[in-house]
Structure 1
């Protein structure tokens, strides 16, 4: 019986080579997908009939550029506060404050009430000067009359400062002749203050002063009829701030240097040598007096800019009001320096040459006071002149928000 040989199985294909059956299946799948895509294309083309194209809305064309700008301008003018909306209520409120402060001054003549009245009148005059290009003020002498009022009320300010500083010096350790001189000065200033108060009282009670305030109220009520003041405030405020802003940073007072003598610190009047301290004569010298006048004018320039920015504070975020604090600090330091200069000038006009040589302790105290104030002022001046600070503040101020 013969044995049977086993039948060999067909060799298997490597994994990378597809079999015939799989190739056929793939071919059928590809053919079916091709047929489906052709059917979808034919259906899509049949849907794009002429009637469907007519019924389908076309996208709207963009309006011309002139139409866009006109629409935007109309929207801004109707949604943003106009300059009149910002200015008129604020000015009328200032007038109400003036009446309140004047009543307080006439009842007590306190220093603080006089200060509030003086500052409010001064702010009103600065703001009206700034707004003069857009306000239709019918009375050209109005601003001049305001200056007369501020001059009369401000005349007592130096007297009050001199009184305060003289009393402070009397509390220091000074020689008997110096104490007697300060006592005489205090009496003279007290009498001078009484005369100033009578002058202020006479002005505030005069019928002419009441007419001035009535004219102011009428002008501010009717001054907002010009077309320019009906424009958005954010478009006009940068232009209104520009003149005094430029005048401030171009002011020569930023670069004034003073040839002051070296100060003695700490002050010990009992140990001071009997030498001739010449600060008073240095301060009153023509060239140095001119330098102090320039510094005083810088202080007034800072004050004007601060008044104007504060007037429009509703158009700026809080960081802007915080950012002008260095200017306020420098204004205060310049004011302290000016008060000392006024005191020294006042003494120089009343001291005899022999007294100027003998009052060594008084001279030493004034030396130290002036030198210390000047050194402190340098810190604030450098902070304000910092280019980064000035650039950021300018960017904020010239981009107000409605």
Structure 2
């Protein structure tokens, strides 16, 4: 059958096909590199491909009829296994590049023991990744996607022109992120207005982040979902949409860096057999100062997204696709409407 290309894509189903094909191919492209285990970037790129593939399946779900072996849950399960290995790589890289050079000699020795533990765990985790990628479930998942890409099956709504359904696809996710309780961490309601509470003391910020780690981490995941879904349709919108997308990506990045600092501390504490602040005070001070800086960066975005105008603009933007792709699609459809009327 004739494969859909970006040039001739018109419908909801056409764009679903393009997204799934793109991210599936990215996933498969890096499989050999992951199994070779020579370059950590291969693992990173394969994991990105799987996460975006899962996002595409979720974003286009109303139009899709995928094989059971190739659903979002199956992709997510394998992506999480790869994620465990990737987390260890990031942990090792972060310690090596960002923290180790700043530490005094007295804190280098305990860090050497930490690296040995990371390497040991990584070996076991890689064995699990290898058995997964060479296993039956992953093989069936690939077979399912390959078959679907050769002979795609859709639901009836896939025939609808993409501009018609874009707002309906994006507005629910916009609501999800705007209504998230994580926005209220470190904020208060004053005279019916949401307001950020300024905190400058590093220890007070650290305590706040420890107490409210769960909603902030969950908001980070919601920002990631929103980013991935919005990126699927970025070509249908203009500059304002892309700026809003950039802000959401920044939310994910900043909250992720805060979360990573806590993950690092939680990983080190049991290995050091004592509190990080007592055993490695220089590293602890660096982490606290990093959290302070990231918290202030976060509050700038927090204040922006608590603003009524920002929220109204985001809702309004997704309801008005404005790019030339949408306009050209509408022009192509005009004769058809006239002919059938």
Range into which the TM-score falls when normalised by the shorter chain: 0.7 to 0.9
* 2:108 alignment counterpart: 179
**C-alpha separation in 2, matches of 1:82 and 1:355:** 55
Q: Which moved more, 1:150-159 or 1:204-213?
A: 204-213
The alignment status of 1:396 with 2:317, answered yes or no, reads: yes
Distance (whole Å) between structure 2 residues aligned to residue 173 and residue 97 of structure 1? 39
SS at match of 1:81: coil
- Distance in 2, Cα, partners of 1:80 & 1:215: 23
Q: In the TM superposition, what whole-angstrom CA distance separates every residue of 1:347-401 from its partner, at most 9, and x where no partner exists? A: 2223334775354333222221222222222123223333333322322212225
Q: Structure 1 residues 344, 257: CA separation in 2 closer, same or farther (over 3 Å shift)?
A: farther
1:245 pairs with 150, 168, 174, which one? 174
Whether contact under 8 Å (1:256, 1:295) holds in the other structure is yes
Match of 1:262 among 176, 194, 201: 201
Q: Is 1:379 equivalent to 2:309 in the alignment? A: no
What's the CA shift for 1:113? 1.9
- Quote the Cα distance in structure 1 between the aligned partners of 2:99 and 2:170: 42
TM-score (norm 1): 0.68
Q: CA deviation at 1:87?
A: 1.4
Look up the match of 2:15.
86
Q: C-alpha separation between the residues in 1 aligned to 2:66 and 2:43?
A: 28
User: Which residue in the other structure is 2:74 paired with?
Assistant: 145
**Cα 1:333/1:384, change in 2 over 3 Å:** same
Q: CA deviation at 1:223?
A: 4.9
Task: Name stretches of at least 5 consecutive residues in structure 2 with no aligned partner.
Answer: 1-7, 188-197, 327-341
Deviation at 1:323, TM superposition (A): 3.2
**Superposed counterparts of 1:198-237, under 5 Å:** 198-219=127-148, 222-237=151-166
- Closer, same or farther: CA 221–141 of 1 in aligned 2, 3 Å: closer
Q: Aligned match of 1:128 in 19, 44, 57?
A: 57
| Residues 92 and 118 in structure 2, CA contact (< 8 A), matched pair in contact too | yes
- Aligned partner of 1:110 in structure 2 is 39
Structure 2 residue aligned with 1:335: 256
* Cα deviation, residue 89, structure 1: 2.3
With over 3 angstroms needed to count, the CA separation of the structure-2 counterparts of 1:175 and 1:89, relative to structure 1, is: closer
Extract unaligned runs of 5+ from structure 1: 1-78, 264-276
Q: Report how far residue 149 of structure 1 moved.
A: 0.7
2:26–2:45 CA contact under 8 A, matched in 1: no
Q: Does 1:194 align with 2:110?
A: no
Change (3 A) 1:202 1:138: closer
Cα offsets for 1:306-357 (capped at 9, x unmatched): 1111112232234422331111112111111111010111122233347753
Instruction: Give per-residue Cα distances to partners, 1:101-152, cap 9 Å, x unaligned.
Output: 2123233442222111111101111221232233223528722211211110
CA distance in 2, matches of 1:316, 1:358: 52
Q: Distance in 2 between matches of 1:121 and 1:80?
A: 23
Specify the structure having the higher radius of gyration (Cα).
Answer: 1
Verify the 8 A CA contact 2:231 2:245 in the aligned structure 1: no
Matched residue SS, 1:324: helix
Kindly report the root-mean-square deviation, in angstroms, between the aligned alpha carbons of the 2 structures: 2.9
Alignment partner, residue 368 of structure 1: 289
> 1-side partners of 2:82 and 2:173: how far apart?
24
**Runs ≥4 residues deviating over 6 A:** 258-261
Provide the C-alpha distance between the structure 1 equivalents of 2:287 and 2:154, rounded to a whole number of angstroms.
55
Structure 2 equivalent of residue 320 of structure 1: 241
Write the distance in 1 (CA, Å) between the matches of 2:154 and 2:33: 34
Match of 2:217 among 290, 296, 306: 296
Residue 221 of structure 1 and its aligned partner are, at CA, apart by: 5.1
